[in-house]
Amino acid sequence: MIYEWDGSLGTGDERIDSQHKQLLAAINDITEAHRQGKGKEEIEKTLDFLAGYAILHFSDEEKLMLECKYSEYTLHKRYHDEFKETVGKLIKRLASEEVTDDLVSVVISTLGDWLFSHIKGEDFRMAAYSKSFCK
């Protein structure tokens, strides 16, 4: 499955939107690596990149929330922490199992579905707040 960026995902914050695009690209890179038969090592490498980039992105979002005194900071951060934990579990699972179509599908859908849901829910709320209350 390929996840595509479109205007409905834009938060209006150029830096955050750019990072979201990079996260989607990394998820799509996992799909493409599997399609091309590049193997477990390439998929794990891409998932590791995604995990690291997610940490950078979450840090940027969390700084923005703190600067703006976002009232839902604790809840939003908890979602970030849960995502990092999920990615860690997927990395361990990939390391211990044979890479199959089903496993790659689980990895891709877990990451992609979470990201789309998070952007359209939590990130939209945060962006609306920051536009109204933060300079």
CATH number, domain with residue 71: 1.20.120.50
Q: Domain of 79?
A: 40-133
Identity (one letter) of the amino acid at 50?
L
Summarised one tens digit per residue, pLDDT across range 94-104 is 999 999 999 99
Distance of alpha carbon 10 from the chain centroid: 14
The number of distinct structural domains making up the chain is 1
Strand, helix or coil for residue 22: helix
> Residue 123: which pLDDT band, with cuts at 50, 70 and 90?
very high
The reported pLDDT for the residue numbered 82 is 95
72: which DSSP letter? T
Scan for tokens 């209350």, then name that residue. 133
| In-domain check, residue 7 | no
> Residue 39: which pLDDT band, with cuts at 50, 70 and 90?
confident
pLDDT at 135 over 70: no
